Chain A
Amino acid sequence: GNSVTQMEGPVTLSEEAFLTINCTYTATGYPSLFWYVQYPGEGLQLLLKATKADDKGSNKGFEATYRKETTSFHLEKGSVQVSDSAVYFCALNWNSGNTPLVFGKGTRLSVIA
C-alpha cells in the first residue's frame, strides 16, 4: 500500500543551522508530494509541494525535490529561525485530489536562539 516514512524527531537545532528532514515514500504510480507544517495549537498549513519527478517545491526558504529514483522528498532549509519551530509532515496523494492525504508520522523541530 501507499505509505510515507519520515525521520523520527524531535530535532533540535540552533538558530541559523542547516535543516534536513528526510522523507521517503512507497506508492504505485506517481503521486504528488507535499510538506505541511503545524505550529503549536494550530491546524496544518501547506508549506510546499511537487507534482512530478524532479520538481522542486520551495517556500519561506524551505526546499524539497521530488526524486523518483530514490522515492524521496527531503525537506531542507539553509538557515533555520526560532519561528520555524513546529511539526513538519510529509504527505502524498494522487492528482485527482478527491483522495485523502497519506501522512508521515511528523517530525518535531525545535530551534533555539
Chain B
Amino acid sequence: GAVVSQHPSWVICKSGTSVKIECRSLDFQATTMFWYRQFPKQSLMLMATSNEGSKATYEQGVEKDKFLINHASLTLSTLTVTSAHPEDSSFYICSAPDPVWGQPQHFGDGTRLSIL
C-alpha cells in the first residue's frame, strides 16, 4: 500500500535555530500533501496544504514566514520551522491522498519537535 515517510521522528534543538521536516511519498506521487500540528492531548489542526510546483496554502492564523513549506518534487514536501522558539514545540504530521482513489489520507509517523 501507499506509504508516507516522515523524517526526523524526533528532534531537540535550541531556541533560534531552524528545523526542517521532510515528508516523502515512498511508492507513489503526491501533487498535494497536508501538514498538521498536534498539541499534547489535542486533535490535529491543519496548518497548510502543500502543492507541488506552486505556493502552499496556509490556514488562517498560521504564519507563512515561520512555517516555510516547499513541495519541490512529486514525492517530497518539506516544512521548515524558522527561528524556532519553545512555543513551536509540538507534534507535526504530514499526509498525502491515496494515489488511486484520492482517499484515505496516508499519514507519516509524525515528528516530535522540542525547542529548548
Asked if B44 and A49 sit within 8 Å, CB to CB, the answer is: no
Within 8 A of B (CB), among A29-61: 32, 34, 36, 41-46, 49, 51
Chain A contact surface mostly: loop
**Chain A residue at minimum C-beta to C-beta distance from B30:** A98
B5 shortest CB reach to chain A, Å: 10
For A, the interface residue count at a CB cutoff of 8 angstroms equals 24
Kindly state whether residue B95 has any CB partner on chain A within 8 Å.
yes
Asked if B105 and A101 sit within 8 Å, CB to CB, the answer is: yes
User: Quick one: which of A42, A89, A98 contacts B97, CB cutoff 8 A?
Assistant: A98
A66 shortest CB reach to chain B, Å: 14
Given contacts A34-B104, A93-B103, A97-B103, contact A42 B43 (CB under 8 A): no
For B, the interface residue count at a CB cutoff of 8 angstroms equals 26
Given contacts A89-B44, A108-B41, contact A100 B102 (CB under 8 A): no
Asked if B107 and A105 sit within 8 Å, CB to CB, the answer is: no
Q: A103 contacts which chain B residues (CB < 8 A)?
A: 43-44
Q: Give a binary string over B16-43; 1 marks a CB under 8 Å from any A CB, 0 the rest.
A: 0000000000000001101010000111
Given contacts A43-B109, A44-B93, contact A105 B32 (CB under 8 A): no
**Chain A residue at minimum C-beta to C-beta distance from B6:** A43
User: Quick one: which of A49, A93, A100, A105 contacts B49, CB cutoff 8 A?
Assistant: A100
Q: Give a binary string over A76-105; 1 marks a CB under 8 Å from any B CB, 0 the rest.
A: 000000000000010001011110110111
Bound complex: CA of A42 vs CA of B43, how far in Å?
A: 14
Inter-chain pairs besides A45-B107, A46-B105, 8 sampled, C-beta below 8 Å: A34-B104, A36-B107, A51-B103, A89-B44, A98-B97, A100-B95, A101-B95, A103-B43
